[in-house]
Chain A
Amino acid sequence: MAVVSLNAIKRPGSKGHRPPPRFVPDKKMNFRERAIIFVPYVWMILFFLIPFLIIFKISFSVTEIAIPPYSPIITFEEGAMQIILHLENYTNIFTDPDGTYMRSYLKSIQVAAFSTILCLVIGYPIAWALASAKSATRNILFILVIMPSWTSFVVRIYAWMTILKRDGIINDILMTIGVIDTPIQLLQTDLAVYIGIVYCYLPYMVLPLFSALMKVDYSLIEAAQDLGCKPVKTFFQALVPQTKSGIIAGSMLVFIPAIGEYVIPELLGGKDSILIGRILWQEFFNNRDWPLASAVAITMLTVMAIPIIWFFKNQRKGDIR
């Protein structure tokens, strides 16, 4: 009741009374603050933003035998400035008679999407098992799960090559127990690519899921169960919504880099695992066609625009909290 002696102050729960939230400073930034912003800001504009503008520019030129090996877009002839935009690279990509580019884009998206789903399905139970362990065990388990990603990336792929090849361990075991008579082709298949991506990208899925699961309010789950919710329904209605930001972050951290993955399909994939990362690499290093490589990169960025925006929106929301 309101009338309890002197304590009848209006706000309940005033014990946790906090000072007002940090306010936005209304005064102008001082010199020191400007100086602090300057270093990271300029670094990132110079080495991150400008490079993309350059890629964009070069994607409109054509390859030439010169240094650098592409035609200038802006030329000066008899004092007049000429701007020549070549659209050949883009038309090449979209109207290539073999359809190599378009096929590799679709393949990349397919591989990335399927790998993301695999990582999510495998990573969620792992993250849950980690998050619900006792804190002492959790530390050691956490280090154990993260440790492989501290070792060299190429070495990890190499390890799978030794396991998956014709006389590798898996074929050995399968032949010893008599499941197969002759070695089956594991290396240089799509299966190997999926294994490689899941193996290397799993930590990127597990970490955000883990931190989301650590913040879960378990009383909601208990409440759902208390109200007679079946486990599967509890999972999708009480746990998944609470870990949504972790799911989005983890999925995007796998999906976006996986689209452009080069090393894994190169080492584990077959001749038909032509993903877009490989195309870009080949155009650049083998064919030295920088403009076409740039156009491939710009097209790839366009494909990824939506997931990237989604990722950042999700991150921002997490910031505001």
Chain B
Amino acid sequence: MNDSISNNASTTVSQGYRNVPGENIYAKQTHLPGERPGQKASPVEQNKKPILEIKGLTKNFSNFTAVNNVDLTIYEGEIFALLGSSGCGKSTLLRMLAGFEHPSDGQIILDGENIVDLPPYKRTLNMMFQSYALFPYMTVRQNIAFGLKQEHLSRDVINERVEKMLKLVHMEEYEDRKPYQLSGGQRQRVALARSLAKEPRLLLLDEPMGALDKKLREQMRLELVDIINSVGVTCLMVTHDQEEAMTMADRIAIMDRGEFVQIGGPREIYENPNCRFSAEFIGSVNMFDCTLTSSNLKHSVISCQDFPLPIELQHDIDIADGMPLSIAMRPEKVYISHEEPKQESNWCSGIVENIAYLGDISIYYVRLPSGRIITATLPNVDRFNVGFPTWDDQVYLSWDPESCIALTF
């Protein structure tokens, strides 16, 4: 089943996700509406050359399998994120790349060379650790120079490279400080400089923002991407924070129980999740159990016990009529209004049960007659929200046919 995942990774370039053959429960999926204008295709162009190829990588521990027969290709110059909750195997995968865990099976090909049996200190990739792992007894300068010294470069070359790195991360005036004399953000920059100093072929980032405050995190994301882009290094990051993955990465792989669930650009995985896990994992979603009533090339009708009216989509769904499926609806794509819609499908009515005011948006919790609660968001464009629905109002929820995602897995 994992063959198809490898297909996913490499076929993304030309085909995207829609025509994936094979038996993979995640990859096999319904046909989705065409890409909307403005949605950029996967940022990886076909002529880019792969820098890292992972083939059938597996890691078994005594009582469980952390990484299960995984295939992945990473192309030169991209920032790739492994996204998953803790225990999904993403860190183990990263540690195998860095050489701290030895795979039970499979190949790791970096620049055409299988590095599985190389010890960490002989691999031409560097890692930035979650805790930053700065050497506590060395100054900022010594930390950055450490990797270069291991290559026995001349002192002039080392100094020149260190200066360049200090400048790159704006830490020139702190070069004589020790790590415990720096703030979290500064430590992160030193760690980044240290891992970039050796000009690695591939930079590994382990939860790059994991040790920072929330406020600082948002700032550092963009700064980090700027630095990485200015150096032009290929980057593989591991994170459990989807916002981080989506703002920083060109492509994202969602991981669960040691396997890839979906690989694609941020927009692709948000707008076109290929399974329930993906849809629920990224962002928030209203998920309904439905049944397919009928489907032809350009039109599918779906019935759901939560809605009196049918749901209509403008594409076909590749399962037999009468089969169960799920409909995913993002809260921001559900319109909420006091007025009853005119059309004959894709809407329902309900009572506002709760409103969560978050400042920039408000989240409405609307109870349907069936008892289900559906969430919808409204941007607070008006300071006083004049005319907005309020508690216990009878409201109408509607959505565009393109907004619904039909999921058969």
**A14 contacts the other chain (CB 8 A):** yes
CA A26 to CA B92, docked complex, whole Å? 14
**A6:B242 contact, CB within 8 angstroms:** yes
Which 6 pairs across A and B sit closest by C-beta, in order of nearness?
Answer: A3-B284, A8-B284, A3-B375, A19-B91, A6-B243, A27-B102
Complex interface bits, A1-29 against B, C-beta within 8 A gives 1, otherwise 0: 11111111111001101111001111100
A→B interface (CB under 8 Å) = 1-11, 14-15, 17-20, 23-27
Contacts of A9 in B (CB 8 A): 85, 240-242, 281
Name the B residues within 8 Å of A25 (CB-CB).
Answer: 102
A7 touches B104 (CB 8 A): no
Is B207's CB under 8 angstroms from A3's CB?
no
Contact of A26 with B102 in the complex, beta carbons under 8 Å: yes
Task: A24 to B66: give the CA distance in the assembly, Å.
Answer: 13
Q: Are B241 and A2 in contact (CB under 8 A)?
A: no
Interface status of B361 (Cβ within 8 A of chain A): yes
Q: Give Cα distance in the complex from A305 to B86, angstroms.
A: 44
Q: Are A17 and B62 closer than 8 Å at their CB atoms?
A: no
Residues from 33 to 92 in B contacting A, C-beta threshold 8 Å: 60-62, 66, 85-87, 91-92
Asked if residues A26 and B61 are in contact (CB atoms below 8 Å), the reply is yes
Contacts of B91 in A (CB 8 A): 19-20
Asked if B356 is an interface residue, CB under 8 A from chain A, the answer is: yes
Question: Chain B's nearest CB lies how many Å from the CB of A140?
Answer: 24
A-B contact pairs, 25 of them (CB 8 A): A3-B284, A3-B363, A4-B358, A4-B363, A5-B284, A5-B377, A8-B283, A9-B85, A9-B240, A9-B242, A9-B281, A11-B85, A11-B86, A14-B85, A14-B241, A17-B130, A19-B130, A20-B87, A20-B92, A23-B61, A23-B92, A26-B61, A26-B62, A26-B102, A26-B104
B101 CB–A CB distance under 8 Å = yes
Q: Which residues of A contact B20 (CB under 8 A)?
A: none
What residues of chain B lie closer than 8 Å to A7, measured between beta carbons? 242-243
The answer to whether A1 touches B283 (Cβ under 8 A) is no
Q: Which chain B residues lie closer than 8 Å to A11 at the CB level? A: 85-86, 240
Residue with the greatest number of chain B CB neighbours at <10 A, chosen from A1, A4, A11, A20: A20
Q: How far is the CA of A9 from the CA of B206 in the complex (A)?
A: 18
Please name all residues of chain B whose beta carbon is closer than 8 Å to the beta carbon of A3 when the two chains form the complex: 284, 331, 363, 375
Asked whether any CB of chain A lies closer than 8 Å to the CB of B246, the reply is: yes
| A19 contacts B242, C-beta separation under 8 Å | no
Min Cβ gap B173→A in Å is 30
Additional pairs, 19, CB under 8 Å, beyond known A9-B240, A9-B241, A26-B60: A1-B356, A3-B284, A5-B283, A5-B284, A5-B377, A6-B246, A6-B284, A10-B85, A11-B240, A14-B241, A17-B210, A18-B130, A19-B206, A20-B66, A20-B86, A20-B87, A20-B91, A24-B62, A26-B102
**A14 B243 Cβ-Cβ under 8 A:** no
The contact string, 1 if C-beta is below 8 Å from chain A, for chain B 222-250, is 00000000000000000011110010000
| Chain A nearest Cβ from B33, distance in angstroms | 23
Instruction: Give a binary string over B339-368; 1 marks a CB under 8 Å from any A CB, 0 the rest.
Output: 000000000000000001010010101000
* Residues of chain B from 256 to 299 with CB closer than 8 A to chain A in the complex: 281-284
B: number of interface residues (CB 8 Å)? 35
> What mask results when residues 186 to 205 of chain B are scored 1 for a CB within 8 Å of chain A, else 0?
00000000000000000000
Closest to A23 in B: B61
Chain A residues within an 8 Å CB radius of B356: 1, 4
State the CA gap A5–B285 with chains docked (Å). 10
Report the separation of the CA atoms of residues A7 and B377 in the bound assembly, to the nearest whole angstrom.
15
Tell whether, in the assembled complex, residue B87 and residue A2 are in contact, meaning their CB atoms are under 8 Å apart.
no
Which residues of the other chain, A, contact B361 by a CB distance below 8 angstroms?
A: 5
Chain A residues within 8 Å of B87, by CB: 20
- What residues on A are CB-neighbors of B243 within 8 Å? 6-7
Complex: chain A residue closest to B91, CB-CB: A19
Closest to B283 in A: A6
Q: Is the CB of A14 within 8 A of B86?
A: yes
For B86, the chain A residues whose CB sits under 8 A away are: 11, 14, 17-18, 20
CA gap between A25 and B115 in the complex, in Å? 18
B60 CB contacts on chain A under 8 angstroms = 26
A162 vs chain B, min Cβ distance (A): 48
Which single residue of chain A is at the shortest CB-CB distance from B62?
A24
Residues of chain A within 8 A (CB-CB) of B282 are: 6
**Nearest Cβ distance between residue A309 and chain B, in whole angstroms?**
27
A225 to B266: give the CA distance in the assembly, Å: 52
CB of A190, distance to nearest CB on chain B (Å) = 53
Tell me, in angstroms, the Cα distance from A24 to B60 when the chains sit together: 11
A residues near B214, Cβ cutoff 8 Å: 15
When the two chains form their complex, are residues B240 and A14 in contact, meaning their CB atoms are under 8 A apart?
yes
For B375, the chain A residues whose CB sits under 8 A away are 3
In the bound complex, how far is the Cα of B101 from the Cα of A23, in angstroms? 9
Contacts of B246 in A (CB 8 A): 6
Interface string of B90-104 (1 = CB under 8 A from A): 011001000001101
What is the bound-complex CA distance between A48 and B163, given in angstroms?
56
Task: State A18–B87 Cα separation when bound (angstroms).
Answer: 10
Query: Within the complex, what minimum Cβ distance (angstroms) separates A19 from chain B?
Result: 5
CB neighbours (8 Å) of A23 from chain B are 61, 92, 101
Is the pair A4, B284 in contact by a Cβ cutoff of 8 Å?
A: yes
Q: Which residue of A lies closest to B61 (CB)?
A: A23
Q: Which of A4, A10, A15, A24 contacts B61 (CB 8 A)?
A: A24
Tell me the smallest distance from the CB of B307 to a CB of chain A, in Å: 19
Of chain B, the residue at the smallest CB distance from A7 is B243
Chain A residue with Cβ nearest B376: A3
A-side contacts of B358, CB under 8 Å: 4-5
A236 to B336, CA, bound (A): 59
Minimum distance in angstroms from B147 CB to a CB of chain A = 21
Cβ distance A7 to chain B, nearest Cβ, rounded Å: 7
Report the bound CA distance from A164 to B156 in whole Å: 73
- Nearest-neighbour CB distance to chain A for B246, whole angstroms, equals 7
Kindly list chain A residues whose C-beta atoms are within 8 Å of the C-beta of B363: 1, 3-4
Residues of A within 8 A of B130 (CB): 17-19
Pick the most buried of B86, B331, B358: most chain A CB atoms within 10 A of its CB: B86
